[in-house]
Homo-oligomer: A and B are copies of this chain.
Amino acid sequence: MLTFDRGTGAFDQFVIEETTFDAQAEGGYEAIFCQGNGYLGQRAALEERYAGQTRNLFVTGTFDRFHESEVTELPNLPDLTNLRLSVNGMPFSMEQGDLVSCTRRLNLKTGELTRYVQWKPPQGKPLTLCFRRFVSMAREHLLGFQVEITCAGEDCAITVESGIDGTVTNSGTQHLYEREKRLFGGRILFMEEETVQSGIRCNLYAAHSYQVDGHETATRRLPVMRRRYLGETVSMTVRKGQTLRIEKLCCVTTSRDLLTLDGEAALREAIGMGYEGLLCESAAAWAALWAAQDIRIDAQNGYDQVAIRFALYHLNIMVKKDDDRVGIGAKGLSGEGYKGHSFWDTEIFLLPYYTFTQPDTAHTLLRYRYRILEGARRKARDHGYRGAMYPWESAWIDDGEVTPLLGGADIVTGESTPILTGHIEQHITADIAYAVWQYAQATGDSAFMENHGWEMLMETARFWASRATWDERRQAYVICDVIGPDEYKEHVDNNAYTNYMAEFNMRLALKRLDDQDIRHVAEGLWLPVPDENGIIPQFDGYMALQAIDLTRYKQAESVGDIFKDYNLSQINHLQVCKQSDTVLLLLLLEDRFSPEVKRRNYEFYEARTLHDSSLSKATHCVLAQDLGLDDIAYDYFHAACAVDLPIGTPKSPEGIHSAAMGGIWQCVVYGFGNVRLTGGKLRIAPRLPKGWHRLSFRIIWQGQPLAVDADEKGVRVTNLGREAVGVRVYEQETIIPGGQEYAGSGMA
């Protein structure tokens, strides 16, 4: 059971704590306690072994394809977290002996993960063990681990075995072959492996030190070398009352790194600084991030404050901010799920955060989409279209479409379900165009538009113009046979989301160049309109589908429960949505729909939506807030946070949901902060949930950092930059000069 808010002083409401231990539930904790810096992602598998652990270490961009039957993915690199202790011959395991207490804390402020254990071996007196680890935010190749064992009750014979373990796989798939393993100077363990297809060399270095009560021990290290493993073992007697401290410092480099680093030299330098020195340096880098980005929520429920910081923490470790050769994986670097691939959620759920708080990172991410434009052109050609058709799933810049072809079991036929998203879930192309435009408007970065943005808008618009077909009966262009964001509906025609976004995409291109083909299709495209009840049909024929009682599935503990009763082709005929689809459209193109249409559609679709996608809840939160459904919005905020940070046990061992982290930010800043970019202008009109006394955050608008400080009565917007910017605060258009603030009231 997770608890929050146990930090004190400087760490107040920066700490996530877990005080129980259940090996079966560990997967979820491994994911949410993940550490990283955008280059490295280190899952929080415990040092000692338990059944069901997943030890994951990823380096961004190191994609490899095991076999032509599989798609490329981020390989799981050799594990560095392993460290096995035995006390008087008994292996340390929290499942053996008497576990008096176990407290794990992730300190979001410093990035350090600690575990404090009081343990009594089956035969023997109690010990305390303190495990600490971090991934450096200051040196992206570096990881540090420390263990302190205090023998409180008796002398103990302690044996330690620790090393670099290359037996790990991606759920059984092995991407690496061994090149070399050896010791340097009897001290530095070194392993070099290489990916089998992409030929990326991965070098791992680890060095250990052993101190008793602060004094380096003279204990003999014995190397342990076997297949795919290199480690060392030491044995010593620790006297009653003494503390043994083990430090394990590690360095990882690959041949795909942006800059070449001598890993051995880097590790030697790190050894000189020691765990504490390196941690301080990393915490200082984190402090700078928090200074620029922290969101303060003064609320009755302390969870809210921790939850937004939890999201910010992950938003800062999932992306390598300066590397435009890779996107953000759907699980960040926290697990094997989705293989490290990037989807549309980067643009729709994550880009708003980066665009408004780290425009340089947003720039990097959009340049990545520019760099894969050639692959998008190739995909369009392969499908018989013009322009650029973005891959549904993307990996390395020249990989092209990497969506797998087969999914889980069809309960009716017994066969694997084909995955069609790579072929017909096409809205991503418009989503990327949408993000380009949003970035350009928020930043005013005309150089980006000149060098990359307009080309992307034109090429994507050309795709849509060639994609639409003329419908004689309707006397309109139609887009048939797609999947919308709601993936429970395949092969649909005129998905409202897709058509509206495609039209938006084409109209963006027309701002630059009056291309007749594009104009023709843009003006003639069929845009589903509200019916007599004000409902926009999600796609042609949706209203005629069978409605069923979803109560049971909505209440289910796990997502996808409906597949226990129906297969996908059956669900295709039911009024059941995996996630917001039309509702998302109402939010993205908010100016185009009246409040009444929004309300009716929100209510209609909400009743039919299972929220089986982690993306759905934040969208519903923001729209509910827009519609004045404040309590519902607050509930959806908690539901969005609970995707990865539940009050209870985390349920996603395959990794955190990157986009859901962006969704949490959107709930707070777009929803309660009511920050929105409409008609090229910035609107700030906070309305806080009940129980929130204050909300402070920063955004960057036209290059100027704005501090937004809202309470129950209104908002104060301070322009921390030098240039004046125009802002609408509540209903008031205003210009705030650099260094000035503006106060507005939200009272009616």
Taking CB atoms and an 8 Å cut-off, the chain A residues in 154-206 that contact chain B are 166-169, 171-174, 177-186, 196
Q: Is the CB of B173 within 8 A of A222?
A: no
Report the separation of the CA atoms of residues A178 and B182 in the bound assembly, to the nearest whole angstrom. 34
Q: Which residues of B contact A174 (CB under 8 A)?
A: 66, 169, 172-174
With A51-B49, A414-B183: A172-B177 Cβ-Cβ less than 8 Å: no
Question: A227 interface residue, CB < 8 Å from B?
Answer: yes
Taking CB atoms and an 8 Å cut-off, the chain A residues in 210-237 that contact chain B are 222-230
Q: Is the CB of A225 within 8 A of B409?
A: yes
Taking CB atoms and an 8 Å cut-off, the chain A residues in 413-450 that contact chain B are 414-416
Contact of A228 among B171, B184, B411 (CB under 8 A): B171
A662 to chain B, nearest CB (A): 26
**Cβ contacts A to B, 12 pairs, < 8 Å:** A24-B91, A51-B51, A66-B177, A69-B178, A95-B96, A166-B172, A167-B169, A169-B172, A171-B227, A172-B228, A182-B414, A223-B411
Q: Which residues of B contact A171 (CB under 8 A)?
A: 167, 226-229
A167 to chain B, nearest CB (A): 3
Report the nearest B residue to A48, measured CB to CB: B51
Q: Mark A238-281, 1 if CB is under 8 A from B, else 0.
A: 00000000000000000000000000000000000000000000
| Copies of this subunit | 2
Interface residues of A (CB under 8 A from B): 24, 49-53, 66-67, 69-70, 91, 93, 95-96, 166-169, 171-174, 177-186, 196, 222-230, 408-409, 411, 414-416, 564
Q: Which residues of B contact A226 (CB under 8 A)?
A: 171, 408
Q: Which residues of B contact A96 (CB under 8 A)?
A: 95
A50 to chain B, nearest CB (A): 5
Residue from A172, A185, A411 having most chain B Cβ neighbours under 10 A? A172
Report the separation of the CA atoms of residues A172 and B191 in the bound assembly, to the nearest whole angstrom. 15
Q: Which residues of B contact A229 (CB under 8 A)?
A: 171
Q: Which residues of B contact A24 (CB under 8 A)?
A: 91
With A171-B167, A228-B172: A196-B51 Cβ-Cβ less than 8 Å: no
A54 to chain B, nearest CB (A): 11
Report the separation of the CA atoms of residues A185 and B415 in the bound assembly, to the nearest whole angstrom. 11
Report the nearest B residue to A173, measured CB to CB: B174
Q: Is the CB of B186 within 8 A of A414?
A: yes
Report the separation of the CA atoms of residues A265 and B349 in the bound assembly, to the nearest whole angstrom. 51
Q: Which residues of B contact A411 (CB under 8 A)?
A: 222-223
Q: Is the CB of A177 within 8 A of B224?
A: no
Q: Is the CB of B182 within 8 A of A223?
A: no
A737 to chain B, nearest CB (A): 57
Q: Which residues of B contact A50 (CB under 8 A)?
A: 51
Report the separation of the CA atoms of residues A324 and B379 in the bound assembly, to the nearest whole angstrom. 51
Q: Is the CB of B69 within 8 A of A223?
A: no
Report the nearest B residue to A339, measured CB to CB: B227
Report the nearest B residue to A407, measured CB to CB: B225
A680 to chain B, nearest CB (A): 45
Q: Which residues of B contact A51 (CB under 8 A)?
A: 49-51, 53, 93
Q: Is the CB of A409 within 8 A of B169?
A: no
Return the 7 tightest CB-CB contacts between A and B, nearest first: A183-B414, A167-B172, A225-B409, A49-B51, A223-B409, A174-B174, A67-B177
Q: Is the CB of A183 within 8 A of B409?
A: yes
Extra 6 A-B pairs, beta carbons < 8 Å, given A186-B414, A225-B416 = A50-B51, A66-B174, A69-B177, A171-B228, A172-B227, A182-B416
Q: Which residues of B contact A230 (CB under 8 A)?
A: 409
Q: Which residues of B contact A167 (CB under 8 A)?
A: 169, 171-172
Report the separation of the CA atoms of residues A186 and B414 in the bound assembly, to the nearest whole angstrom. 6
Q: Which residues of B contact A179 (CB under 8 A)?
A: 69
A195 to chain B, nearest CB (A): 11
Report the separation of the CA atoms of residues A52 and B184 in the bound assembly, to the nearest whole angstrom. 29
Q: Which residues of B contact A177 (CB under 8 A)?
A: 66-67, 69-70
Report the separation of the CA atoms of residues A23 and B223 in the bound assembly, to the nearest whole angstrom. 25
A498 to chain B, nearest CB (A): 29
Report the nearest B residue to A50, measured CB to CB: B51
Report the nearest B residue to A171, measured CB to CB: B227
Report the separation of the CA atoms of residues A334 and B179 in the bound assembly, to the nearest whole angstrom. 28
A414 to chain B, nearest CB (A): 3
Q: Which residues of B contact A181 (CB under 8 A)?
A: 416
Q: Is the CB of A52 within 8 A of B49?
A: yes
Report the separation of the CA atoms of residues A488 and B186 in the bound assembly, to the nearest whole angstrom. 23
With A171-B228, A172-B168, A174-B169: A196-B67 Cβ-Cβ less than 8 Å: yes
A194 to chain B, nearest CB (A): 9
Residue from A66, A225, A411 having most chain B Cβ neighbours under 10 A? A225
Report the separation of the CA atoms of residues A69 and B178 in the bound assembly, to the nearest whole angstrom. 7
Report the separation of the CA atoms of residues A222 and B414 in the bound assembly, to the nearest whole angstrom. 10
Report the separation of the CA atoms of residues A179 and B180 in the bound assembly, to the nearest whole angstrom. 32
Report the nearest B residue to A165, measured CB to CB: B172
A382 to chain B, nearest CB (A): 24
A21 to chain B, nearest CB (A): 12
Report the nearest B residue to A69, measured CB to CB: B177
Report the separation of the CA atoms of residues A619 and B180 in the bound assembly, to the nearest whole angstrom. 38
Q: Which residues of B contact A222 (CB under 8 A)?
A: 411, 564
Residue from A24, A226, A414 having most chain B Cβ neighbours under 10 A? A414
Report the separation of the CA atoms of residues A224 and B409 in the bound assembly, to the nearest whole angstrom. 7
Report the separation of the CA atoms of residues A24 and B183 in the bound assembly, to the nearest whole angstrom. 28
Report the separation of the CA atoms of residues A409 and B183 in the bound assembly, to the nearest whole angstrom. 8
Report the separation of the CA atoms of residues A203 and B145 in the bound assembly, to the nearest whole angstrom. 43
Q: Is the CB of B184 within 8 A of A414?
A: yes
Q: Which residues of B contact A408 (CB under 8 A)?
A: 225-226
A119 to chain B, nearest CB (A): 15
Report the separation of the CA atoms of residues A119 and B314 in the bound assembly, to the nearest whole angstrom. 42
Report the separation of the CA atoms of residues A70 and B66 in the bound assembly, to the nearest whole angstrom. 16
Report the nearest B residue to A220, measured CB to CB: B564
A316 to chain B, nearest CB (A): 29
A655 to chain B, nearest CB (A): 14
Residue from A166, A177, A409 having most chain B Cβ neighbours under 10 A? A409
Report the nearest B residue to A78, measured CB to CB: B172
A748 to chain B, nearest CB (A): 51
A172 to chain B, nearest CB (A): 3
Report the separation of the CA atoms of residues A197 and B24 in the bound assembly, to the nearest whole angstrom. 36
Q: Which residues of B contact A52 (CB under 8 A)?
A: 49
Report the separation of the CA atoms of residues A177 and B70 in the bound assembly, to the nearest whole angstrom. 8
Q: Is the CB of A228 within 8 A of B416?
A: no
Q: Which residues of B contact A225 (CB under 8 A)?
A: 408-409, 416
